[in-house]
Amino acid sequence: MRLAGSNKCSNAHGRSSSSEQYSHMPARGSTLLPYYSLNTSASSSLAPRPRCPSPAIATPALLQLRRTHSPVCSSASTEAPSAPTRKAAPLQPPYNVLVTGSTKGVGRALAEEFLLQGDRVIITSRSDERVQQTVAELAQQFGADRVKGRACNVGVSSDVVALADWAKSEFGTIDIWINNAGTNTYKFGPMTSLSNEELSEIVTTNVLGVMLCCKEAIRVMQDQPAGHIFNMDGAGADGNATPRMAAYGASKRSLAQLGKSLCAELTQANIQNVGIHNLSPGMVTTELLMAGADTPTAKFFINCLAEEAAFVAKDLVPRVRRVPMEAANSRTGRMEPAYIRALTQVKAFTQIFKRLLLGDRKNRFVQE
């Protein structure tokens, strides 16, 4: 990957087997939307969040990172040398991109859009058969040298370690890693209606899977000029209630705290060349979302607010691709976290208003 000479940008889940369901719901809540959540950002532009503080408490041991200072013996007169600071560097496209859960739905659409933009992409899924099929289809269109694939269950640590090592060996670097894999087991109902196995699958994929992927992505990226991790949020990420999908909402709520903590740990370890960011796809017409279109309220908001995966990808990918050039703050050299949203509050309420006033977007995806 070549380093850019300027920070200026140069260009612009669907249903699966019972062992894998990848899809996402919108993130920000509103009292007008009792079943689906909206984003609160009033702007659709790239919106950096304040840098995470460096708390004066012991760093959790989630990451195997070098500490800023080594322990000092009581008889020693000087401290051990601190770890060298790894400064962030802007990167120039084309990028090497890894998308988890990318054989269908939002993940597949993101992968295709990155390829259309000229990047190289790694496809992952729990199913080796689906991975090979997806790679073959995309390679026919974009070339076998630009798309690779490997089966990976993000909830299994050995799978994730092997994926990270293999991706690095294939492409040399991983510039962008998108944690898109997620599940709700296609169940909409009270949490008490889910089996213990279903609850475990949701938490293992949506929480542990993201943690494992972040850990291994950081391990690989900290020895590169720079690297960027994007965690895909969903309904419940803002802390609002998610009736009929409580476990999913709770799992997505955890990602904001995880991101802030990882940011603080990286700062404490003087690792400034790895960025932790969030993506919010809004409402996407995957099979998971459509499985919940069983009430008049749900049908109304799906028609009014949802978009197809390809539409969402065309909105998100260009903004994601700007981050590697713009995230390295020129004053501090640190990564500035980005929160990229496809569905903002302003956009959502504009569409709702037009629907109520003019009847726009009625029956787009389901008959009301």
The pLDDT tens digits of the residues spanning 149-207 come to 999 999 999 999 999 999 999 999 999 999 999 998 878 889 999 999 999 999 999 99
In terms of residue numbers, what domain contains 257? 81-358
Sort strands 176-179 and 96-99 into parallel, antiparallel or unpaired. Answer: parallel
What is the per-residue pLDDT for 49? 44
Sort strands 47-48 and 338-341 into parallel, antiparallel or unpaired. Answer: antiparallel
Q: Is residue 70 part of a domain?
A: no
Q: Is residue 142 part of a domain?
A: yes
Q: Is residue 85 part of a domain?
A: yes
At CB < 8 A and 24+ separation, what contacts does 133-138 make?
Answer: 133/103, 134/102, 134/103, 134/104, 134/108, 138/111, 138/112
pLDDT above 90 as % of the chain:
58
> Facing residues of 340 across strands?
279
What is the per-residue pLDDT for 245? 87
User: What would the pLDDT profile of 192-234 be if each residue is shown by its tens digit?
Assistant: 999 999 999 999 999 999 999 999 999 999 999 999 999 999 8
Q: What residues contact residue 50 under an 8 Å CB cut-off, 6+ apart?
A: none
Q: Is residue 221 part of a domain?
A: yes
Q: Is residue 10 part of a domain?
A: no
When pLDDT is cut at 50, 70 and 90, the band that residue 334 belongs to is low
Q: Please provide the average confidence, as pLDDT, over all residues in the chain.
A: 81
When pLDDT is cut at 50, 70 and 90, the band that residue 147 belongs to is very high
Instruction: Specify the DSSP element, H or E, that contains 303.
Output: helix 296-305
Active site (catalytic) residues = 248
Q: Is residue 353 part of a domain?
A: yes
Domain count, the chain: 1
Q: Is residue 20 part of a domain?
A: no
What is the per-residue pLDDT for 331? 63
Q: Reply yes or no on whether the pLDDT at 71 is more than 90.
A: no
Q: Residue 148 maps to which CATH number?
A: 3.40.50.720
Query: pTM score > 0.85 for this model?
Result: no
Q: Is residue 339 part of a domain?
A: yes
User: What would the pLDDT profile of 237-251 be if each residue is shown by its tens digit?
Assistant: 888 898 888 999 999
